[in-house]
Amino acid sequence: MEKNAKIFVAGQDTLIGSAILRQLKRNGYVNLIGSDQDIDLTDNAQVKAFFATYSPDYVFLAAGKSGGIRANQKYPAELMIDNLLVASHVIHQSYCHKVKKLLYLASSCSYPKLSPQPMQVSSLWTGGLETTNEAYAVAKLAGIKLCQAYRQQYNANFITAIPANAFGLGDDFSLEDSHVIPALIRKLHEAKEGKADSVEIWGTGNPRREFIFADDLADACLFIMDRYNESQPINLGGGEDVSIRQLAELIQLIVGFEGKLYFDATKPDGMPLKALDASELLELGWKSQTSLQNAISSTYAYFLQSNREVAYV
């Protein structure tokens, strides 16, 4: 991407979209469009008008609602329709306005529940999905297929990527609907403040997940925007997987909560293991910069800072 290219990040208010925007600014991209726009990407007329006005050269498609395991169980229709609409509108308008290149971000839950691990792109579409997030995963798979279809029929350079479970600055720290890392940061912090004896962690603690810091993920997105041009998705990961128990203990240490962790096995575990085979990305020369421990510490610092700001309002 040329430094003065017109770049549109769809989903600037999302964890990943906001991290991509930060990374673009850090790397000297000056023509970032749409940052002051309040467009509803689920509304086709608004997306059409936006593309007609700004005609971006490059698009990062990191929009669409997402949530953790409970949010996926509670709002499958909302998550699915939002992601389908956003992807359809942005991908189609990118084609209509001859966008040079588009990167669509899918999700690791697009892989079949029982994929061989670490998950390879060849496992996509080979088996049943994890039921807790099936609706969202189908919408994400549709986004991948739509990009491939525009490439096949119109030769559009639309690429797709599958990130590991992302977390970081600007995350959603709600107790019920967020992903595990922000949820545990908040739970353990509040338990420390309230001098609680124990904290409840959902599930058995046995599932394993690979996580990626959103700022590292953003760096990988810019990296592949410059180097990757294939139809098949590319995995964005490369870290090690940890069990939810190990993760909870690490967050406990960082937060400084001295009570006990209680694992509630009546709550869902979700997929037993989600780790990505990122060898293609690593062979291209990308490496993540931030250790899990440092990334969680930064996210905790962000949480404390935003808590303070909320308290002063």
Q: How many residues does the chain have?
A: 313
| Cα radius of gyration rounded to whole Å, the chain | 19
SS3 content of the chain, % helix, strand, coil (to 5): 45, 15, 35
- Asked if 166 and 210 count as a contact pair (C-beta separation under 8 A), the reply is no
The CA-based dihedral angle spanning residues 241, 129, 167, 171, taken in that order and rounded to the nearest 10 degrees: -160
According to the binding rule CB under 6 A, does residue 144 interact with ligand GFB? no
Clarify whether 136 is annotated catalytic: yes
264 DSSP β-pair partners? 202
Stretch that binds ligand GFB, among 80-88, 149-157, 191-199, 268-276 (CB under 6 A): 268-276
The residue (of 90 and 184) whose beta carbon lies closer to ligand GFB is 184
Shortest distance (Å) from residue 86 CB to ligand GFB: 15
The residue among 54 and 76 lying less far from ligand GFB, judged by its C-beta, is 76
Residues facing residue 202 across a β-bridge: 264
Stretch that binds ligand GFB, among 3-11, 49-57, 178-186, 291-299 (CB under 6 A): 178-186
186 interacts with ligand GFB by CB under 6 A:
no
Query: Residues 231, 148: contact at Cβ < 8 Å?
Result: yes
Binding residues: 105-108, 140, 179, 187, 202, 209, 269
Binding site, annotated residues for NADP(+):
105-108, 140, 179
Where does this chain bind ligand GFB (CB under 6 A)?
66, 68-69, 72, 107-109, 132-133, 136, 165, 178-180, 183-184, 201-203, 207, 209, 244, 267-270, 274
